[in-house]
Structure 1
Amino acid sequence: MDRLTAMEMFVRVVVAKSFSGAARQLGVSKSVVSKAVAELEDRLGAQLLNRTTRQMSLTEVGQAYYERCVSILEQVEDTEQVVSSGARCPRGLLRVSAPVTFSVMNLGWPLSDFMEQYPEVSLELTLNDRVVDIVEEGFDLAIRISRRLKDSNLIAVKLGSARTITCASPEYLKRHGEPRHPRDLLQHHCLRYSNLGPAQEWTFRDPENGEPIQIAVSGRIIANNGEVLRAAAVKGDGIIAGPSFLAAEDIRQGRLVPILKEYAGPPFGIYAVYPPNRHVSAKVRRLVDFLKGLWGESPPWEKACGAC
């Protein structure tokens, strides 16, 4: 077996976290993958993987070799793309997983524009707020929103950023008064995300020392969808702490008013994550570059939100 193929099989094993998972993706038997990795270890004279009956993990030298393999395979693909018409004009099915509210509000027309640019690409978009296993479930790319991504063997590219904005309708603030400190929220109706559990703490940042301030909020409305909570906030049912891409247009139109601005926490990132797979990266990279160019410097929700 040639060395590049063996390296790709090794990378697949690491990403899939199993020999059987890598074999399924590659359409070969588990023994073929296992033999390829064993041959690599013999050639290198080093153990790349710790294997037990229950789990598999990289050795220290295996981690270093994995990172180099990913880099080498990417460089090989870059070289192939120079002369590949398929790379100049990506084609085929692109399967994308993305969070519900963000996608409904911000992903529709960008994907339409992307498809117009690349007419030979077809798209399957799945909206789900759970963190999917993109390798196991066969996605080419996922969009994730987080202050800190969990450690992963996936490639992550930051597409843009957003921030948490605490806000309420002018009518609500007129009836109940405006909170001046996060602890004032204890006396208010707060609109909460059900996926965070019934007992929730909202986190703020002390403007003087940067220390976190955690407030156990409560309220009569709890939902698993940000748009539902945003609509309730606009109607005057309570205070919402949501991402800027959710509230920006309502703030611009005066339907919601930002509060506790000086206590806002740090921004969080919007990322594209995808496996190091040289066979699909032409499509993936075009989409990543497209979205990064669209959202990277000045996302539209930040423009709409202004200085709030």
Structure 2
Amino acid sequence: MLDQLRAMGVFACVVKQNSFSGAARELGITTSAVSQQIRSLEQEMDAILLYRSTRKLSLTEEGQVFYQSCKEMLAAAERGKIRMNELRDDLIGELHIATTPELAANHIIPALSQWLFAHRGLSVKFDVDTQFIDLQKNNIDIALRMAPKIEETTFDTIPLARVEQVLVASADYLNQTASINIPEDLKQHNILPVYSMQHWHRFFFQHNLSDQRVELEMKARMSSNNICVVKALCKNGLGLARVLYLDVQKELMNGELIEVLPDWKLPSYTLYAVAAPLAQRSVKTQRCIEALKAYFSQIPGGRLYKEAS
């Protein structure tokens, strides 16, 4: 059993590194040892998990299913390690967390709920604002920020998850307006932007298969600095909204909103934890970051989250 668990960890590392040699370097073993682990695992599972070629590796259908199980196993092991640390660490004092209202309510608090319940000696203050808060000036321990990229020299930026953007609209809107088949068709439509998003008027599309790129400049008649307001406008048939997938997953699943131009990809965002450099970081801050990383690493794959690296 232990050999199989070890082999599952090696398999997950190969997929993450997209190469046998990369996995060997990360694990500190030889490439031939990695190859042997994968062969033994495939024999044990009686299935081919990877397509191998001289240029790249790709997962078979069985491999994709099995990889999710491997990720869940590794996430469970990580959660177990965190719980062991929690037993050793008596976390007390105040923890100051800064983020936006939407991120706090919809994602950060759910991510930390069990961890906060476990550490009752910890006093936690959530400072929420639509604008970025100065960490030093406001004595912030951790700032959670969603951005394409963060240029930061004073603090550490720890990526937690990569999140896709999608273009959505209600069925009523799509049924009553001109069809949308290519990005250029958007020029005939109403865009509902979150105007606090940097460069909200610029749209960059890349086709999933052909890699064709299209850049558009859009105008808006209605907008808001709040994603909840933009979603309400969108669901009431007043236009199309470009939003983060995690903010509309439920609406897409229940049919309230429909993804527009699914074959065209918009630039993704990354959810970052911004904190003091590791050597200056308190134990409670580091444990909180570990809890966030463990939570986001176990979120199912697909379009909701992709574990950041």
Fold similarity call, TM over 0.5: yes
Which ranges of structure 2 fall in alignment gaps of 5 or more residues?
Answer: 1-84
1:190 matched to 2:194: no
How far apart are the structure 2 equivalents of 1:107 and 1:115?
11
State the match for 2:159 in structure 1: 158
User: What's the offset of the Cα at 1:150?
Assistant: 0.9
How far apart are the structure 2 equivalents of 1:283 and 1:153?
20
State the match for 1:265 in structure 2: 266
State the match for 2:205 in structure 1: 204
* Letter paired with 2:130: D
- Cα 1:199–1:103 shift into 2, 3 Å: closer
Superimposed CA distance per residue, residues 127-165 of structure 1 (whole angstroms, 9 cap, x where no aligned partner): 112222212221001011122111323112111121101
TM-score of the superposed pair, with normalisation by structure 1: 0.65
Superimposed CA distance per residue, residues 37-70 of structure 1 (whole angstroms, 9 cap, x where no aligned partner): xxxxxxxxxxxxxxxxxxxxxxxxxxxxxxxxxx
How far apart are the structure 2 equivalents of 1:178 and 1:128?
38
State the match for 1:170 in structure 2: 171
- Cα 1:190–1:285 shift into 2, 3 Å: same
- Cα 1:273–1:234 shift into 2, 3 Å: same
Query: What SS class does the counterpart of residue 148 from structure 1 fall into?
Result: coil
State the match for 1:129 in structure 2: 130
State the match for 1:220 in structure 2: 221
How far apart are the structure 1 equivalents of 2:86 and 2:287?
14
* Letter paired with 1:256: L
For residues 37-116 of structure 1, the aligned pairs below 5 Å read 88-116=89-117
* Letter paired with 1:109: P
Between structure 1 and structure 2, the one with the greater Rg is 1
How far apart are the structure 1 equivalents of 2:245 and 2:113?
23
Contact between 1:159 and 1:272, CA under 8 Å: does it hold in 2? yes
* Letter paired with 1:115: L
Contact between 2:204 and 2:267, CA under 8 Å: does it hold in 1? no
State the match for 1:242 in structure 2: 243
Contact between 1:161 and 1:299, CA under 8 Å: does it hold in 2? no
* Letter paired with 2:216: I
TM-score of the superposed pair, with normalisation by structure 2: 0.65
Which ranges of structure 1 fall in alignment gaps of 5 or more residues?
Answer: 1-83
Contact between 2:275 and 2:281, CA under 8 Å: does it hold in 1? no
User: What's the offset of the Cα at 1:112?
Assistant: 2.9
State the match for 2:37 in structure 1: none
Superimposed CA distance per residue, residues 231-281 of structure 1 (whole angstroms, 9 cap, x where no aligned partner): 111111110010011111100111000111221134321111101265652
Superimposed CA distance per residue, residues 8-51 of structure 1 (whole angstroms, 9 cap, x where no aligned partner): xxxxxxxxxxxxxxxxxxxxxxxxxxxxxxxxxxxxxxxxxxxx
How far apart are the structure 1 equivalents of 2:233 and 2:137?
37
RMSD between aligned alpha carbons? 2.7
Query: What SS class does the counterpart of residue 193 from structure 1 fall into?
Result: coil
How far apart are the structure 2 equivalents of 1:199 and 1:291?
28
Kindly report structure 1 stretches of 4+ aligned residues shifted beyond 3 Å.
84-87, 196-199, 206-212, 277-280, 299-304
How far apart are the structure 1 equivalents of 2:132 and 2:210?
33
- Cα 1:197–1:238 shift into 2, 3 Å: same
How far apart are the structure 2 equivalents of 1:300 and 1:108?
20
* Letter paired with 2:106: M
Of residues 218-227 and 249-258 in structure 1, the stretch that sits farther from structure 2 once superposed is: 218-227
User: What's the offset of the Cα at 1:303?
Assistant: 5.3
